[in-house]
Amino acid sequence: MLIKNVLQFRYKLYFNLVNKIQVRNTSQSSVGFIGLGNMGSNMAQNLLNKGHRLVVYDVYPEAMAALADKGALIAHSPADVANKCDRIISMLPTCAHVRQVYCGDNGVLSQVKTGTLLIDSSTIDPQTSQQMASEAQTKGAVFLDAPVSGAVPAARAATLTFMVGGNAIEVEAIKDLLLSMGKNVFHCGPVGTGAVAKICNNMMLAISMIGLSETLNLAKNLGLEPQLMTKILNVSSGRSWSSEVYNPVPGLGQNLPAGNEYKGGFMTQLITKDLGLAQSSATRVNSPTPLGTLSHQIYRLMKNNGYSDKDFSSVYKFFQDFDQKS
Protein backbone atom coordinates (compact mmCIF):
# COMPACT_ATOMS: atom_id res chain seq x y z
CA MET A 1 0.00 0.00 0.00
CA LEU A 2 2.87 2.36 0.84
CA ILE A 3 4.54 1.67 -2.51
CA LYS A 4 1.23 2.28 -4.31
CA ASN A 5 0.74 5.62 -2.54
CA VAL A 6 4.27 6.72 -3.37
CA LEU A 7 3.79 5.80 -7.02
CA GLN A 8 0.48 7.69 -7.15
CA PHE A 9 2.11 10.75 -5.58
CA ARG A 10 4.99 10.65 -8.09
CA TYR A 11 2.56 10.24 -10.96
CA LYS A 12 0.55 13.27 -9.77
CA LEU A 13 3.72 15.36 -9.59
CA TYR A 14 4.72 14.21 -13.07
CA PHE A 15 1.24 14.93 -14.47
CA ASN A 16 1.26 18.43 -12.99
CA LEU A 17 4.70 19.09 -14.46
CA VAL A 18 3.67 17.84 -17.90
CA ASN A 19 0.59 20.05 -17.87
CA LYS A 20 2.57 23.13 -16.83
CA ILE A 21 5.06 22.49 -19.62
CA GLN A 22 2.20 21.97 -22.07
CA VAL A 23 0.51 25.24 -21.10
CA ARG A 24 3.80 27.11 -21.41
CA ASN A 25 4.58 25.58 -24.80
CA THR A 26 1.11 26.11 -26.28
CA SER A 27 0.62 29.68 -25.13
CA GLN A 28 1.79 31.05 -28.50
CA SER A 29 0.61 28.17 -30.72
CA SER A 30 -2.29 28.35 -33.16
CA VAL A 31 -5.80 27.91 -31.80
CA GLY A 32 -8.36 26.02 -33.86
CA PHE A 33 -12.00 27.08 -33.99
CA ILE A 34 -14.74 24.93 -35.53
CA GLY A 35 -18.26 26.30 -35.99
CA LEU A 36 -18.63 29.93 -37.03
CA GLY A 37 -22.31 30.66 -36.53
CA ASN A 38 -23.82 33.59 -34.65
CA MET A 39 -21.91 32.69 -31.49
CA GLY A 40 -18.78 31.09 -32.87
CA SER A 41 -17.93 33.85 -35.32
CA ASN A 42 -17.92 36.44 -32.54
CA MET A 43 -15.93 34.22 -30.20
CA ALA A 44 -13.35 33.58 -32.92
CA GLN A 45 -13.15 37.29 -33.67
CA ASN A 46 -12.35 38.01 -30.03
CA LEU A 47 -9.52 35.46 -30.12
CA LEU A 48 -8.08 37.35 -33.08
CA ASN A 49 -8.57 40.63 -31.24
CA LYS A 50 -6.52 39.25 -28.32
CA GLY A 51 -3.66 38.32 -30.64
CA HIS A 52 -4.17 34.58 -30.98
CA ARG A 53 -3.14 32.89 -34.22
CA LEU A 54 -6.35 31.27 -35.42
CA VAL A 55 -7.20 28.37 -37.74
CA VAL A 56 -10.91 28.15 -38.54
CA TYR A 57 -13.31 25.67 -40.12
CA ASP A 58 -17.01 25.83 -40.93
CA VAL A 59 -19.22 24.07 -43.44
CA TYR A 60 -20.07 27.49 -44.91
CA PRO A 61 -17.10 28.92 -46.87
CA GLU A 62 -18.38 32.48 -46.51
CA ALA A 63 -18.15 32.20 -42.71
CA MET A 64 -14.49 31.23 -42.98
CA ALA A 65 -13.80 33.91 -45.58
CA ALA A 66 -15.10 36.64 -43.26
CA LEU A 67 -12.53 35.68 -40.62
CA ALA A 68 -9.78 35.06 -43.16
CA ASP A 69 -10.14 38.71 -44.17
CA LYS A 70 -9.28 39.55 -40.54
CA GLY A 71 -6.22 37.31 -40.32
CA ALA A 72 -7.42 33.76 -39.64
CA LEU A 73 -6.14 30.76 -41.59
CA ILE A 74 -8.71 28.51 -43.28
CA ALA A 75 -8.72 24.75 -42.72
CA HIS A 76 -10.19 22.21 -45.14
CA SER A 77 -11.76 19.94 -42.51
CA PRO A 78 -11.88 19.32 -38.76
CA ALA A 79 -9.00 16.88 -39.27
CA ASP A 80 -7.00 19.67 -40.88
CA VAL A 81 -7.62 21.85 -37.84
CA ALA A 82 -6.37 19.03 -35.59
CA ASN A 83 -3.26 18.66 -37.71
CA LYS A 84 -2.43 22.36 -37.33
CA CYS A 85 -3.44 23.09 -33.70
CA ASP A 86 -3.06 21.68 -30.21
CA ARG A 87 -5.90 23.71 -28.70
CA ILE A 88 -9.25 23.43 -30.49
CA ILE A 89 -12.56 25.08 -29.64
CA SER A 90 -15.85 23.93 -31.15
CA MET A 91 -19.21 25.70 -31.12
CA LEU A 92 -21.79 23.49 -32.84
CA PRO A 93 -25.61 23.28 -32.93
CA THR A 94 -26.39 19.72 -31.80
CA CYS A 95 -25.04 16.48 -30.35
CA ALA A 96 -25.02 14.95 -33.83
CA HIS A 97 -22.83 17.78 -35.15
CA VAL A 98 -20.40 17.32 -32.25
CA ARG A 99 -20.11 13.59 -32.87
CA GLN A 100 -19.57 14.17 -36.59
CA VAL A 101 -16.90 16.87 -36.09
CA TYR A 102 -14.93 14.81 -33.60
CA CYS A 103 -15.52 11.19 -34.63
CA GLY A 104 -16.68 11.32 -38.26
CA ASP A 105 -14.69 10.92 -41.46
CA ASN A 106 -12.07 13.69 -41.48
CA GLY A 107 -13.02 14.41 -37.87
CA VAL A 108 -10.75 15.96 -35.29
CA LEU A 109 -9.87 12.64 -33.66
CA SER A 110 -8.62 11.19 -36.94
CA GLN A 111 -5.63 13.56 -36.85
CA VAL A 112 -5.48 14.81 -33.27
CA LYS A 113 -2.05 15.12 -31.67
CA THR A 114 -1.19 13.71 -28.27
CA GLY A 115 -1.82 16.26 -25.55
CA THR A 116 -4.23 18.38 -27.58
CA LEU A 117 -6.84 20.21 -25.52
CA LEU A 118 -10.32 19.92 -27.07
CA ILE A 119 -12.77 22.52 -25.76
CA ASP A 120 -16.39 22.06 -26.78
CA SER A 121 -18.64 25.06 -26.15
CA SER A 122 -21.69 23.50 -27.79
CA THR A 123 -24.86 22.94 -25.79
CA ILE A 124 -25.21 19.16 -25.74
CA ASP A 125 -26.22 16.50 -23.23
CA PRO A 126 -23.77 15.35 -20.54
CA GLN A 127 -23.62 11.84 -21.95
CA THR A 128 -22.34 13.02 -25.33
CA SER A 129 -19.64 15.11 -23.63
CA GLN A 130 -18.54 12.09 -21.61
CA GLN A 131 -18.52 9.92 -24.73
CA MET A 132 -16.34 12.43 -26.59
CA ALA A 133 -13.97 12.61 -23.62
CA SER A 134 -13.60 8.83 -23.67
CA GLU A 135 -12.94 8.80 -27.42
CA ALA A 136 -10.40 11.61 -27.09
CA GLN A 137 -8.60 9.79 -24.30
CA THR A 138 -7.95 6.80 -26.58
CA LYS A 139 -6.08 9.23 -28.88
CA GLY A 140 -4.09 10.80 -26.07
CA ALA A 141 -6.09 14.05 -26.20
CA VAL A 142 -8.15 15.81 -23.52
CA PHE A 143 -11.79 16.79 -24.07
CA LEU A 144 -13.53 19.36 -21.88
CA ASP A 145 -17.11 20.60 -22.11
CA ALA A 146 -17.23 24.39 -21.80
CA PRO A 147 -20.67 25.70 -22.84
CA VAL A 148 -21.39 29.39 -22.49
CA SER A 149 -24.06 31.81 -21.31
CA GLY A 150 -24.70 35.37 -22.44
CA ALA A 151 -26.00 34.92 -26.00
CA VAL A 152 -24.73 36.86 -29.02
CA PRO A 153 -24.33 40.25 -27.28
CA ALA A 154 -21.95 38.70 -24.73
CA ALA A 155 -20.14 36.73 -27.45
CA ARG A 156 -19.65 40.00 -29.33
CA ALA A 157 -18.46 41.88 -26.24
CA ALA A 158 -16.24 39.05 -24.92
CA THR A 159 -18.24 38.87 -21.69
CA LEU A 160 -19.43 35.26 -21.88
CA THR A 161 -19.69 32.99 -18.87
CA PHE A 162 -18.05 29.58 -19.36
CA MET A 163 -19.25 26.51 -17.44
CA VAL A 164 -16.48 23.93 -17.67
CA GLY A 165 -16.38 20.21 -16.99
CA GLY A 166 -13.02 18.49 -16.71
CA ASN A 167 -9.97 17.88 -14.56
CA ALA A 168 -9.06 20.94 -12.45
CA ILE A 169 -5.52 21.12 -13.89
CA GLU A 170 -6.84 21.01 -17.45
CA VAL A 171 -9.47 23.64 -16.70
CA GLU A 172 -6.73 25.90 -15.35
CA ALA A 173 -4.74 25.26 -18.54
CA ILE A 174 -7.50 26.70 -20.74
CA LYS A 175 -8.64 29.50 -18.44
CA ASP A 176 -6.65 32.29 -20.10
CA LEU A 177 -7.89 31.19 -23.51
CA LEU A 178 -11.51 31.26 -22.34
CA LEU A 179 -11.02 34.69 -20.79
CA SER A 180 -10.11 35.99 -24.24
CA MET A 181 -13.78 35.38 -25.08
CA GLY A 182 -15.50 35.87 -21.72
CA LYS A 183 -15.28 37.29 -18.24
CA ASN A 184 -16.33 34.34 -16.04
CA VAL A 185 -15.04 30.77 -15.92
CA PHE A 186 -16.65 28.27 -13.54
CA HIS A 187 -15.20 24.82 -12.98
CA CYS A 188 -18.31 22.69 -12.45
CA GLY A 189 -16.69 19.30 -11.87
CA PRO A 190 -15.79 16.34 -14.13
CA VAL A 191 -16.57 16.18 -17.85
CA GLY A 192 -20.31 16.51 -18.42
CA THR A 193 -21.05 18.88 -15.54
CA GLY A 194 -20.51 21.91 -17.76
CA ALA A 195 -23.32 20.58 -19.94
CA VAL A 196 -25.47 20.03 -16.85
CA ALA A 197 -25.02 23.66 -15.82
CA LYS A 198 -25.82 24.87 -19.33
CA ILE A 199 -29.03 22.93 -19.92
CA CYS A 200 -30.30 23.94 -16.45
CA ASN A 201 -29.42 27.58 -17.15
CA ASN A 202 -31.16 27.51 -20.53
CA MET A 203 -34.28 25.95 -19.05
CA MET A 204 -34.40 28.85 -16.58
CA LEU A 205 -33.77 31.31 -19.45
CA ALA A 206 -36.67 29.91 -21.48
CA ILE A 207 -39.04 30.03 -18.50
CA SER A 208 -37.98 33.60 -17.75
CA MET A 209 -38.35 34.82 -21.34
CA ILE A 210 -41.81 33.30 -21.67
CA GLY A 211 -42.87 34.79 -18.34
CA LEU A 212 -41.57 38.23 -19.28
CA SER A 213 -43.18 38.12 -22.72
CA GLU A 214 -46.63 37.15 -21.46
CA THR A 215 -46.34 39.79 -18.72
CA LEU A 216 -45.48 42.59 -21.16
CA ASN A 217 -48.15 41.43 -23.59
CA LEU A 218 -50.76 41.38 -20.83
CA ALA A 219 -49.72 44.86 -19.65
CA LYS A 220 -50.09 46.18 -23.19
CA ASN A 221 -53.51 44.57 -23.59
CA LEU A 222 -54.55 46.24 -20.33
CA GLY A 223 -53.42 49.66 -21.52
CA LEU A 224 -49.89 49.92 -20.04
CA GLU A 225 -47.07 50.38 -22.55
CA PRO A 226 -44.29 47.75 -22.48
CA GLN A 227 -41.60 50.45 -22.09
CA LEU A 228 -43.11 51.70 -18.83
CA MET A 229 -43.84 48.18 -17.60
CA THR A 230 -40.22 47.23 -18.28
CA LYS A 231 -38.96 50.21 -16.26
CA ILE A 232 -41.17 49.14 -13.37
CA LEU A 233 -40.03 45.52 -13.57
CA ASN A 234 -36.36 46.49 -13.62
CA VAL A 235 -36.61 48.27 -10.27
CA SER A 236 -39.03 45.76 -8.78
CA SER A 237 -39.17 42.10 -7.81
CA GLY A 238 -39.99 41.03 -11.38
CA ARG A 239 -36.56 42.06 -12.69
CA SER A 240 -34.63 39.50 -14.76
CA TRP A 241 -31.82 39.20 -17.29
CA SER A 242 -34.45 39.00 -19.99
CA SER A 243 -36.06 42.28 -18.93
CA GLU A 244 -32.81 44.16 -18.34
CA VAL A 245 -30.44 42.86 -21.03
CA TYR A 246 -32.42 40.97 -23.69
CA ASN A 247 -35.83 42.55 -23.79
CA PRO A 248 -38.18 40.92 -26.32
CA VAL A 249 -40.05 44.13 -27.23
CA PRO A 250 -38.79 45.89 -30.38
CA GLY A 251 -37.08 49.19 -29.56
CA LEU A 252 -36.43 48.52 -25.85
CA GLY A 253 -32.76 47.67 -26.24
CA GLN A 254 -29.81 48.39 -28.50
CA ASN A 255 -28.50 45.84 -31.00
CA LEU A 256 -31.01 43.19 -29.94
CA PRO A 257 -32.74 40.72 -32.27
CA ALA A 258 -36.12 42.15 -31.23
CA GLY A 259 -35.17 45.37 -33.01
CA ASN A 260 -34.14 43.49 -36.15
CA GLU A 261 -37.30 41.47 -36.80
CA TYR A 262 -35.90 38.83 -34.42
CA LYS A 263 -33.12 37.93 -36.84
CA GLY A 264 -29.81 36.60 -35.57
CA GLY A 265 -29.31 35.80 -31.92
CA PHE A 266 -30.35 32.50 -30.35
CA MET A 267 -32.77 30.77 -32.68
CA THR A 268 -36.00 29.22 -31.48
CA GLN A 269 -35.00 25.86 -32.93
CA LEU A 270 -31.89 25.87 -30.71
CA ILE A 271 -33.59 26.70 -27.43
CA THR A 272 -36.18 24.06 -28.31
CA LYS A 273 -33.32 21.59 -28.69
CA ASP A 274 -31.81 22.66 -25.36
CA LEU A 275 -35.15 22.30 -23.58
CA GLY A 276 -35.43 18.83 -25.04
CA LEU A 277 -32.01 17.97 -23.58
CA ALA A 278 -33.15 19.25 -20.19
CA GLN A 279 -36.36 17.23 -20.36
CA SER A 280 -34.51 14.04 -21.34
CA SER A 281 -32.08 14.53 -18.47
CA ALA A 282 -34.93 15.27 -16.05
CA THR A 283 -36.69 12.08 -17.11
CA ARG A 284 -33.49 10.08 -16.64
CA VAL A 285 -33.13 11.17 -13.00
CA ASN A 286 -36.89 11.44 -12.31
CA SER A 287 -36.71 15.16 -11.50
CA PRO A 288 -39.96 17.19 -11.78
CA THR A 289 -39.77 20.10 -14.25
CA PRO A 290 -43.36 21.24 -14.91
CA LEU A 291 -42.44 24.74 -16.11
CA GLY A 292 -39.56 23.39 -18.16
CA THR A 293 -41.95 20.94 -19.80
CA LEU A 294 -44.49 23.67 -20.60
CA SER A 295 -41.73 25.94 -21.97
CA HIS A 296 -40.57 23.11 -24.22
CA GLN A 297 -44.11 22.69 -25.55
CA ILE A 298 -44.45 26.43 -26.27
CA TYR A 299 -41.15 26.63 -28.15
CA ARG A 300 -41.93 23.44 -30.07
CA LEU A 301 -45.21 25.05 -31.12
CA MET A 302 -43.33 28.17 -32.24
CA LYS A 303 -40.74 26.11 -34.10
CA ASN A 304 -43.46 24.39 -36.09
CA ASN A 305 -45.31 27.62 -36.89
CA GLY A 306 -42.79 29.83 -38.65
CA TYR A 307 -40.56 30.89 -35.74
CA SER A 308 -37.83 28.27 -36.07
CA ASP A 309 -35.12 30.65 -37.37
CA LYS A 310 -36.22 33.64 -35.31
CA ASP A 311 -34.57 34.56 -32.01
CA PHE A 312 -36.14 32.88 -28.99
CA SER A 313 -37.30 36.29 -27.70
CA SER A 314 -39.83 36.24 -30.56
CA VAL A 315 -42.12 34.44 -28.09
CA TYR A 316 -43.38 37.99 -27.38
CA LYS A 317 -44.46 38.34 -31.02
CA PHE A 318 -45.92 34.83 -30.87
CA PHE A 319 -48.23 35.92 -28.05
CA GLN A 320 -49.18 39.07 -29.98
CA ASP A 321 -49.98 37.01 -33.07
CA PHE A 322 -52.13 34.73 -30.90
CA ASP A 323 -54.05 37.79 -29.64
CA GLN A 324 -54.79 38.85 -33.20
CA LYS A 325 -56.04 35.41 -34.19
CA SER A 326 -58.29 34.94 -31.16
| Domains of the chain, first to last | 2-190 (3.40.50.720), 197-325 (1.10.1040.10)
Question: From the DSSP assignment, how many helices (H) and strands (E) are in the chain?
Answer: 14, 9
52-107 pLDDT, tens digit each? 999 999 999 999 999 999 999 999 999 999 999 999 999 999 999 999 999 999 99
Question: pLDDT grade, residue 29 (50/70/90)?
Answer: confident
Structure confidence at residue 2 (pLDDT): 39
CA distance 63 to 37: 8
Residue 4's pLDDT band, with cuts at 50, 70 and 90, is very low
246, 230 contact by CB (below 8 A)? no
- Pairwise CA distance, residues 51 & 53, whole Å: 7
> If we measure between CA atoms, which residue out of 323, 240, 153, 265 comes closest to residue 230?
240
Percent of the chain scoring above 70 in pLDDT: 91
79 CB-side CA count, 13 A: 8
Are 73 and 84 in contact by the 8 Å Cβ rule? The answer is yes
Other beta carbons less than 10 A from residue 124's beta carbon: 29
- The catalytic residue among 84, 139, 198, 310 is 198
Q: Are 116 and 147 in contact (CB under 8 A)?
A: no
pLDDT of residue 54: 96
* pLDDT tens figures, 194-230: 999 999 999 999 999 999 999 999 999 999 999 999 9
CA distances in angstroms from 263 to 37, 44, 148, 166, 255, listed in the order given: 13, 21, 20, 34, 11
- β-pairing, 87-90 vs 117-120, is parallel
Question: What would the mean pLDDT of 124-147 be, rounded to a whole number?
Answer: 96
Q: Decide if 319 contacts 213 (C-beta within 8 A).
A: yes
d(CA 112, CA 93) in angstroms, rounded, equals: 22
Mean pLDDT of 15-41: 67
Catalytic (active site) residue 20: no
